[in-house]
Amino acid sequence: MSDHVFFDEALRRAAEIVINAPLPEGVDQPLLIRDILGRISIALNIRRSEHEGVVLTLQSRAESLGAFAASPRVVCADDFFDAPVLFQDPSIIQFSVPRTELSVRLLDRQVTGQEWLVRPGDLGQPEVPRLVFFGLKGGVGRSTALAILAYELARAGNRVLLIDLDLESPGLTGLLLPADVAARFGVVDWLVEDAVGQGDDVCEQIVSTSPLSANLGQEIRVVSAIGNGDSLYLDKLSRAYADVSQQHEVRTFSERVRHLVEIVEAKEKPDVVLIDSRAGLHDLAALSVGLASTAFLFATDAAQCWQGYRSLFAHWQSRPEVARRVRERLKIVSALFPETDQASRGRRFLERSHLLFTDTLYDEVAPGGTEAGDSELFNFDMENSAAPHYPLRIKWNSRFQEFDPLQIPSGLFGEDDIRGAYGEFTDGVIQLVEGAEA
């Protein structure tokens, strides 16, 4: 049998060590600090010189962490110049160790993935509905659905603002903006220019009107990822994710993107904001979800899709404070819903979606729980259409393959075409928006 301790096991062992630590009465629970390589230190908010026995005991027990034991294994308050900076770090979370009943305080240092650890206080409710379109992989029709929804919202009299945050695979420009109307600058231009103090100048030339809204009640305004005719996009993209120092303060990439969204919203005064997120588990996708009033999670009934969402939901589940805020903003979308066997396939999708949420983000209902107590739990019956797990469907239709939404005003795609494929989805979204505004 191997004596190695692997990543998955190390945190469980560390949690057992600190929970069973022989601490003096009145001392705070130890803090686990995990570095970017996954190595773990135990931090004690006590003076080492006054509790040498406790420190030595924990140092000995921490040997069981193997390669994931940090050096030093145990740190104390008097090891730091300013201990409160560490022990009151706002990034500290209460972490529920997967597949156990253990819960510990954790300060996690990561190269990427930090945005998925967004703290509850970061998830402020935006002044206008922000609808984020997210998926684990491309090719599920997110951008097309976004364009159709924008059209329907504008047709209903809403001023719509679209923002393309899929910086690695920008699509809204080609989909909604011909070259002759595209704005000079895009999101990546703003990130690069803002870093050197020229963001305000870019903001004056970052939004343009899509011809999709021709003859509608309101305009569809678009902030694309890439500017018109940009031949240096990759050069800019390689610098866009940087944190920058401005006025003696470091502004992170996520803070800068949030600031851009707020600036454009204040300038455009939209009724609804639609954001196209990057696919996958990149930090930019996490940031997009964090910006949302509602995040639409595009899914197909494929094993790899459910497995991917289960990994993401389990990540939130192990951080209960984050999970409680994020889960209220989610809505599953059944994308590319097939033309055949719709009853059985629809039922299977619903069952799998409900199981996903029940296993991870919904509160557990205890057997025999009281009705009053259960009413306070975040838990939904499978058939509850208002629940996050209950899907909005977009039906697959061959007419929308290689779809050009700018052909809608020309009459090549009629209302029956749009309603047939997207009606359930657009109706459901508009109902959510109207409910939020009520």
Q: What is the pLDDT of residues 65-96, one digit of tens each?
A: 999 999 999 999 988 878 888 888 888 889 99
By three-state DSSP, how is residue 348 classified?
helix
Specify the pLDDT at position 89.
85
Specify the pLDDT at position 255.
86
Please give the radius of gyration of the chain, using alpha carbons only, rounded to the nearest integer.
25
CA 277 and chain centroid, separation: 9
Q: What is the pLDDT of residues 41-72, one digit of tens each?
A: 999 998 888 889 999 999 999 999 999 999 99
Burial 277-290 (b: 16+ CB within 10 A, else e): bbbebbbbbbbbbb
Q: What is the pLDDT of residues 302-359, one digit of tens each?
A: 999 999 999 889 888 888 888 888 899 999 999 988 877 888 999 999 999 999 999 9
pTM, to two decimals: 0.83
Question: For the chain, what percent of residues have pLDDT higher than 90?
Answer: 48
Neighbours of 112 (CB within 10 A): 13
Q: What is the pLDDT of residues 174-205, one digit of tens each?
A: 889 888 899 999 999 999 999 988 999 999 89
Q: Which residue has the higher pLDDT, 368 or 270?
A: 270
111 CB contacts (<8 Å, ≥6 apart)? 36
CA dihedral of 185, 189, 190, 196, whole degrees rounded to 10 = -130
Q: Position of tokens 């940031």? A: 287
Rounded distance between C-alpha atoms, residue 272 and residue 96, angstroms: 36
Q: Report whether pLDDT(283) > 70.
A: no
By three-state DSSP, how is residue 276 classified?
strand
Rounded distance between C-alpha atoms, residue 205 and residue 132, angstroms: 23
Q: Which residue has the higher pLDDT, 372 or 102?
A: 102
CA 188 and chain centroid, separation: 20
**Continuous segment of H or E residues that includes residue 416:** helix 415-437
Per CATH, domain 7-109 is 3.30.70: yes
Which tokens hold the place of 277?
């997120």
Per CATH, domain 123-179+211-226+271-361+381-437 is 3.40.50.300: yes
Which tokens hold the place of 333?
């979308």
Specify the pLDDT at position 178.
87
By three-state DSSP, how is residue 367 classified?
coil
Specify the pLDDT at position 184.
93
By three-state DSSP, how is residue 57 classified?
helix
Tell me what the pLDDT averaged over the chain comes to.
86
Specify the pLDDT at position 186.
94
Q: What is the pLDDT of residues 382-406, one digit of tens each?
A: 999 999 999 999 988 777 777 778 8
Which tokens hold the place of 335?
């994308």
Categorize the per-residue pLDDT at 229 as very low, low, confident or very high, splitting at 50, 70 and 90.
Answer: confident
Q: Report whether pLDDT(208) > 90.
A: yes
Contact 11, 97 (CB under 8 A): yes
Specify the pLDDT at position 113.
47
Rounded distance between C-alpha atoms, residue 324 and residue 351, angstroms: 22
Domain ranges in the chain are: 7-109, 123-179+211-226+271-361+381-437
Q: Which residue has the higher pLDDT, 125 or 294?
A: 294
Which tokens hold the place of 122?
């970061």
Specify the pLDDT at position 86.
85
Burial of 236 (0-12, 13-18, 19+ CB in 10 A): buried
Contact 135, 145 (CB under 8 A): no
- The 8-class DSSP code of residue 300 comes to -
Span 235-246, mean pLDDT? 87
Specify the pLDDT at position 305.
92
Q: What is the pLDDT of residues 91-122, one digit of tens each?
A: 888 999 988 899 999 988 754 445 544 443 45
Categorize the per-residue pLDDT at 421 as very low, low, confident or very high, splitting at 50, 70 and 90.
Answer: confident
- The 8-class DSSP code of residue 382 comes to T
